[in-house]
Structure 1
Amino acid sequence: MTSPRFELTAAFPVYLRLEAALAAGDWPAVEQFFATIPDDGMTVAVRVVAKVKGVEEFLRRVPPSRLSRLLLAARHIVHAWEIRSDKLAKHVSAEQFAGMHEQLRSAEAILIDLTAADPSDVLAWRERITVCQGLGLGQSEARRRYDRLARADPHHFSGQSALAQQLCPKWGGSWDSLHGFARECLDAAPPGSLCATVVAEAHLEHAHNINDKDKRREYLAGVEAELDAAARKSLFHPAFRPVPGWVEAHGVFAILSSWAGNPHKAAVHFRALGDLASDYPWSWCYKNPAAGFEELRSAAVGGNG
C-alpha cells in the first residue's frame, strides 16, 4: 500500500491544464478550460482558481466578464477563511473577523450583480450560500439562496453540501434540520449521483461531535441502514460515474464504516480509493490526515489492499 495522495490532480489530471494556465497568467486558456469542462466539474474548477494565493490581482487585470467576476468573488471567499483560520471562534481575533467579513462583503457585492443578471447562475448562488454562512445571515436566508439555486439545478451536489453545512448546529441549525434535509437529498437523488451521499456527510458531522467512541459506534449502528441505502443509490449504483467529489464521498463512507466497527465495509471504500485521498474529510477528522487514512486503511484491508 502506498501513501495517500491528497492533490486533486491525482484523481483528475485534467485540472493540471487549469493550474498551468493560471501559473502562466494565460486568461484565454482559463476561459477555454471553463468552456470545455463538464458541468459536474465546474464547482471544483472554481475552487481550484480560488485557492491560488494572489490570483485576485490577475483576475482584476483580465477583461471583465461573468467568469472573471465569479472567480474573483470565489477568491474573496477563500481568502476570508484564510484570514479567519480554522481555529475555534473564541480563539479568532476581532481583527481577523473584520478582515474575513470585509472579504465576504466584497464577494457578496459581485455575486449579487451576477445573480441579478442571471437568476439561474447556479455557481454564483452556490458561492452565496457560503457567504451567508460566513456573515451569519441565518438559516432562512441560506435556505432562500439554496432554493434559488435549486430552481435551476435541483440536484446540484455542491449546493446541497453547502446548505447541509449551514444546517449544522455549529452554524445555528439543528441535527433534526440537517438530517431532514439530507434525507430529502437521498430521496430525490437521481440514481448514481453523489446527491445521496449528503446523508453520509450529515452523519459524519454528527458522529464527529460524539467524543465517546462507544457512544459514537452506537449512534452509527442506529443509522447503518440509511448509510447503506445512500451508498447503494450513489457510489455502488450501476449508473455511478467517478465525477468530482467521488474521492471525498468514498472517504466519508470509509471513516464512518471504520468508526462503526465495520472494517469489511470500510475495505470496499478503501479499495475503490487506492491511494487517492482528499482534504475533506481527512483533514477535518484527523490532525495528521495521512496518518489517519493509513491507520484506518490498514485496519480495513491490512496487507491485502
Structure 2
Amino acid sequence: MTQKQIERKSLIVSCIVNLIMAIGGFWIFSITNIQALFLDCSFSMIASCSCLAALEISKISNKKTKNYPDGLYFLEPLYSIFRTLLTLVLLFSSVARTAKAAWGYFVYGVGTPLMIEPVIPYEILMCIICFGLSFFNRSQSRKTNDSSTLLATESKGNFIDGILSLGVALSAFLIKLIDINGSLGFLHYTGDFFITTIIVLPAIKEPISVFISSFRELSGGLTTNQELKRTVFQFVEKNLSGIMTLQKCDIYKIGMHIKVYIYITNNIDYKKIQTVKRNILKDICPIYENAEIVFCEW
C-alpha cells in the first residue's frame, strides 16, 4: 500500500467516525442546551466535512500540471491552515457565547440550570473514541514516515476533540456534586462558561502549532522535521562520499512532497550527478515516496 493510499484510507475512517460523533453530539446538545457540548459536536462536524475536502486534495495533490510542474502538493498545507483557522474561530466564539450567558446571570440574575445528567456517559464515550481516532491517525501517519500533512492535522484535531470531551465530562461530574442551593450553586447556571474556558485555553496550543508548521510549508521555508532531515542527510552523505564535496543540503517539505537541494563545488561531472541522484532516490523513495533531488553549484 502506497503512502497516498494509507492517507486516503485513514481520512475515510476519520470522516465516518467524526460524522457519527457529530450526530450524537447535536442530539445530546438539543436535550441539554450546554454550549460546551455544542463546541464539541461542532468540532466533530467540521472534522467530518473537512475530511471530505482532505480526501479530494489527497487524490489530486500529486498531479502535475503545466502551471504546477511539481504537483499540487501546496493544497495540503493550505487545507491545514484553513482547518486550523476554522478551529480557532470556533474555540473563541464558543467562549464568547458562554461568557454572554454568564454575564447575564451575574449582572441580571437571569439563567437556566444546566441539565448535566446525559452529558457524563456521552462525553466519556466520545473521549474514548476521539483519543482512539487520534492514535489511529497518528499511527497511520507514522506509516508514511510523518510525511502526511493531512494526517498530522487530523490527528491533532482528534486529540483536541478528545480533550474537549474529557473536560466537559469531568466538569459536569464536579457540578453534579455541588448543591444548587449552596455557596457554589451559581455553577449550575454559569458552569458552561467555566467549562468551555478551561477547555479552550490548553486546546489552543495544538491548532496554533499545526498552523505554524503548515504556513512554513506553504511559504517555502526549510523543514523543521528533524527525523526527515536526519534521514535525508544520511543518504546524501552516503552517496556523495568519495565522489563529490557536499557544501550544503537544504530540505523543503510541501505536503507529502520532499525536495532536496544539494550544493556541491564547481567542476560538476553531469554523468556522475545523474548516477548519484538515482542512488539517493533509490534510498529515499522507500521512506518518502514523493522525493525530488536538485543539484546546485556552490
* Greater fraction helix: 1
TM-score w.r.t. length of structure 1: 0.26
* Greater fraction strand: 2
